[in-house]
Chains A and B, each alone.
Chain A
Amino acid sequence: MKRIILIAVCSCAALLCAAQEIERQDTLSEAVISAASPAARLAETLSGVERIDIDEIAKVPVIFGEKDIIKSLQLLPGVKSEGEGLSGFEVRGGTSAQNLILLDGATVYNAGHAMGVFSAFNDDALSEVTLYKGQIPSAFGGASSSVLDISTHQGDMYRWHFGGSIGLLSARLGVEGPIVRDKLSIYLGARRSYMDSFLIFSKKYKGNKLYFYDFNARVDWKATAKDNFSITFFRSDDVTGIKDFMNVGWNNTSVTGRWLHREKNVYFNSSVVWSSFENKPEIDILGMHLEARGYIRHSTARENITILAGSHKIHVGGEITHTRLNSAEWDISGTHLMDLCKGGEGNVWAEDEWAIAPFAEISVGFRLGMFMPLDGRHHIYFSPEPRVGAKFSIGQFQTIRGGYCRSSQNVHALRNANMALPFDRFCLTSAFVKPEISDQGSLGYAIMIPDGSWDFSLEGYYKGVQNVYDYLDGETFISDIDIEKLIKGGRGRAYGVEVAARKNTGAFTGWAAYTLSFAETRIEEINGGRWYRSNNDQRHNINLVAMYSLRSGWNFSAAFTYISGRSLTVPSAKYMLDGNIRYYNSERNGYRTPPTHHLDIGASHTKHKGRMTRVWTFSIYNVYNNYNPFAVTFRDDEKNPSGSKAIQTSLFGIIPSVSFSLKF
């Protein structure tokens, strides 16, 4: 029976991959990240901070009408995709599960649509995006790799706007405006794919489900000159189903209520947040109904106070969070098995950004976390997290930055695959599973040409991670309910150098980024207890992005990406057992897949007429049609004298696309 379940699950995965192929979102032109100005980049106190300008992204061509902030991040130094064309991102040797993605303070897990081909965020609904890949401000915690802090778009307090776009596979609509002028505004944005519309034309596939949608709503109220209130709602949902056989779905829902209050030089930011992530693969087969449902729900109350006092900018705050996590709730023909974990968490922090002198700034922060698994065992984990950063300016146009940051994570994702999937299981810190703790040190240098036309940066980092968990040999998401029996903890380390050069002004703009990185893991009982390359250890990453604007409204862009192959476990020997060939791996991740590289080009034409703006966007992903590795498998091959062969599966070849958007 297990074999049947596995066949079914593999069938689902294969069909979902086929679905991905149909959707074929890609990465091209979401390319443009023009963070803040070069001067602002130079002025940043903390190292490893990337601020993304959403408006800039809107100027570049897009594929399928899908501007994608997450894929744009992947073109930054130190950030890469967890798989070609996928929206999951990895930062400085971490996995995507070690990133904390916050949407208005609410945690979003598995932030992708259609198995990660599209990101879960509608860029029209976003206003500010900041990625902390090195030092993390003390107000943030819960991630051992990076924090992506996203703020949603506030509705216009003075004028109504309507807009929408349509691509080959999805469309989006947005409306915003004042309910009470200069007092109360609203923003509503929605996006839905319509791949399922194609299915109804096929008798064979009619009745199957293949769609996603997301919805953003935000209401802002300027109560007084000193008080602003807002409520934001976010929902993203993926539904993939094969009639009378299986459904795979996952969704994120969050609600944030926020009160901003200003009292002279003191700013109060109070919020309450509720967020929920659910995944729910289910299969009906051979008269049996199998469900593996999981969820993570956070309820958080948070207060952050910012005080401006001369050369000091001081942040103090605290938060409490209640988490309910269900790593697997199996319903097998009426037999209900559940693995529910609960935890209570409290954090307090204080940080001082101090401009010591015109040429020197420091940031000294401390975050104290307390996590208590609510499992009756009365364990309490305290996580003292010092965070220190310093910046020294050499003249007006050069800076040296460095710092140290400790952060911890209490929600642990466990994966058998390289990428986020609905089959991922999660576990919470408990008496058995300890908090994942990372320590990162970084040092960087940046220089800007006096007129700001070019700037260059160089940054190195070293990161050590304690309590990294992975499945034991031979265990998977479908193994036991009690996940603590299936996993083993160990250590990780990552180090590397990031180099970037940016052209900021003129008709021709863009950047070049190179990352040299190493990532290793050591877990007892795996690889003989020796250090081994992490699955996402990819030595070289080169991103070249170029844009050219004409006054006629035409914009042209091109992006080239090269990433070394992923680490891969390849058999070193084989043997016969029970009449079949079996493989033996002498070392974990001892080989690499072939590298990934592709060139993407795009062109867009923007025309303004009165209040109306329309944009046509054309693009070609993977111009020279290079088939990049998505997976490598080994199969028996009786024609081959050795009896086996290695097969590379690729998802994306050359993909042309067009989209149209209108806003007024």
Chain B
Amino acid sequence: MKKTFLIPVALCLLLVSCEKEIHFDFKNVEPYTVIEASVTQEGARARISRTVNMTAALDGSNYHTDAEITLSGSDGTSAAFTAGEDGVFTAPVEGVSGVSYTLTVRTAGKVHTSTSTMPEITQVTDAGFYISNILGVGMYTYDVETMAAPADVREQFFFYRMFKGEKVQSWGISDNRFITERGTVLMTMPCSLKIEGVDDLGEEADDIVLRPGDEVTVEAYAIDKKTHAYLRSDQMTSRSRANTLPDFTEGALGYFSARALLHRETVIFDPDNIHEKEY
């Protein structure tokens, strides 16, 4: 009898709220150069592409090699990039903490530059899969914890991501304003919902689930403040109606980061051996 009270609520829910696709007459703009480049302890790499209009296909394979790229460091390092067959430019530079690197890209008649400083390497104290319960929904996460300096002594910024194959499954940023009781910075990558019968789900569920046996690669980096600000603005663009912060001169999109690799691991997803974490 009491549940009859729910009838009006259920009825109302049926009557309200909906989502539908709408169509815009997108304006076309001249293509912009997009640069994604980094230098780590393992070397320097860069990729150059161009923006496409909204109605055009974008498959990630339209990388350009018509560019001259050089890297110089505050320690006197200097190197030119060479293009590989896969469209990736590389340079034989091993990044060093504390050094500021300037990337210069000459392409399409313009010169784009950006500078980034490689932070210190911090010790990773824990890394692995965990399961959390958020609002009654089970969620698998991959957590990386690294030692944190007090925020009023030194700022620390971090970037982390998880790949499933070539595709980024999850990424995020953190900083040492958010310190756990253990004095660490926690980087949590939500990587899969816990769903019964996950094998029966189609490919469209790949964005929200990992299946047993899936191989994923996890990376965590220390980054500088400038890169953190860029990535934070990147996270916000869909909500704030704004573009990402400019990182390169002369209007190029993308960013350059000198970052210190803290952790990299390739693991097989095995939900039977994942436990809840004591926070």
Instruction: Please list the residues of chain A having a beta carbon within 8 angstroms of any beta carbon in chain B.
Output: 1-8, 11, 15, 18, 21-22, 24, 168, 197-198, 201-202, 204, 242, 245, 285-288, 332-333, 335, 416, 471-476, 479, 526, 535, 568-586, 588-591, 594, 625, 627, 629, 632-634, 638, 641-656
Contacts and interface: CB of A to CB of B under 8 A. Distances in A.
Interface stretch (B78-86, B90-98, B106-114, B132-140): B132-140
B2 A475 contact: no
9 contacts: A245-B135, A288-B279, A575-B34, A575-B52, A579-B60, A585-B241, A591-B24, A645-B21, A651-B17
Interface stretch (B161-169, B193-201, B264-272): B161-169
Contacts of B34: 575-577
B5 A198 contact: yes
B153 interface: no
Given A11-B134, A197-B5, A650-B19, A573 B175 contact: no
Contacts of A585: 241-243
B44 interface: no
B239 A11 contact: no
B187 A647 contact: no
Contacts of B22: 594, 629, 632, 646-648
Interface string B44-59: 0000011111111111
A2 B241 contact: no
Given A1-B178, A579-B163, A22 B13 contact: yes
B274 interface: no
Contact of B16 (A475, A571, A651): A651
A407 B184 CA distance: 50
B53 A473 contact: no
Contact of A21 (B13, B28, B238): B13
A522 to B, nearest CB: 16
Contact of A416 (B9, B29, B167, B239): B239
Contact of B12 (A580, A644, A655): A655
Contacts of A572: 26-29, 53-54
Contact of A588 (B177, B233, B234, B241): B241
Contacts of B23: 646
Given A474-B233, A584-B29, A655-B15, 9 more contacts: A1-B174, A2-B178, A245-B135, A573-B51, A576-B34, A645-B21, A647-B19, A648-B22, A656-B15
Contacts of A168: 8
Nearest to A648: B22
B32 A634 contact: no
Given A476-B236, A585-B241, A3 B190 contact: yes
A627 B18 contact: yes
Contacts of B173: 1-3
B172 interface: yes
Nearest to A11: B135
B60 A4 contact: no
A582 B234 contact: yes
B259 to A, nearest CB: 12
Interface of B: 2-3, 5-6, 8-9, 12-13, 15-24, 26-29, 31-32, 34, 36, 49-60, 62, 132, 134-136, 151, 161, 163, 166-168, 170-175, 177-181, 185-190, 204, 229-230, 232-245, 253-254, 279
A627 B15 contact: no
A576 B49 contact: yes
B135 to A, nearest CB: 6
A512 to B, nearest CB: 28
A475 B233 CA distance: 7
A7 B5 CA distance: 32
Contacts of A591: 24
Among B8, B36, B179, B241, residue most surrounded by chain A Cβ atoms (within 10 Å) = B241
B178 A288 contact: yes
A4 B19 contact: no
A142 B6 CA distance: 45
B18 A650 contact: yes
Contacts of A645: 21
Nearest to B143: A286
Given A287-B180, A590-B27, A201 B240 contact: no
Contacts of B62: 576
The 7 closest A-B pairs by CB, nearest first: A474-B233, A287-B279, A3-B172, A1-B174, A573-B51, A473-B242, A579-B168
A1 B190 contact: no
Contacts of B51: 573-575, 584
A286 B237 CA distance: 26
B279 A575 contact: no
Contacts of B167: 579
A22 B9 contact: yes
Nearest to B229: A474
A625 B15 CA distance: 9
A634 B239 CA distance: 10
Contact of A573 (B29, B230, B238, B254): B29
A650 B57 CA distance: 28
Contact of A473 (B50, B163, B233): B233
Among B18, B234, B235, residue most surrounded by chain A Cβ atoms (within 10 Å) = B18
Contacts of A568: 241
Contact of B186 (A1, A15, A24, A573): A1
Contact of A1 (B2, B21, B187): B187
Contacts of B57: 641-643
Nearest to A590: B27
Contacts of B240: 416, 471, 473-476
A474 B178 CA distance: 20
A474 B232 contact: yes
A114 to B, nearest CB: 14
A282 B277 CA distance: 22
A580 B167 CA distance: 8
A657 to B, nearest CB: 9
A331 to B, nearest CB: 12
Contacts of A475: 233, 236, 240
A229 to B, nearest CB: 45
A653 B18 contact: yes
B19 A333 contact: no
A332 B29 contact: no
Given A653-B16, A655-B12, A333 B168 contact: no
Contacts of B36: 577-578
Contacts of A583: 237-238
Contact of A584 (B21, B59, B187, B243): B243
A579 B47 CA distance: 11
Contacts of B151: 335
Contacts of A476: 236, 239-240
A203 B3 CA distance: 12
Contacts of B188: 1, 3-4, 286
Nearest to B240: A416
Contacts of B49: 575-576
B15 A653 contact: yes
B31 A649 contact: no
Contacts of A642: 54-58
A575 B55 CA distance: 12
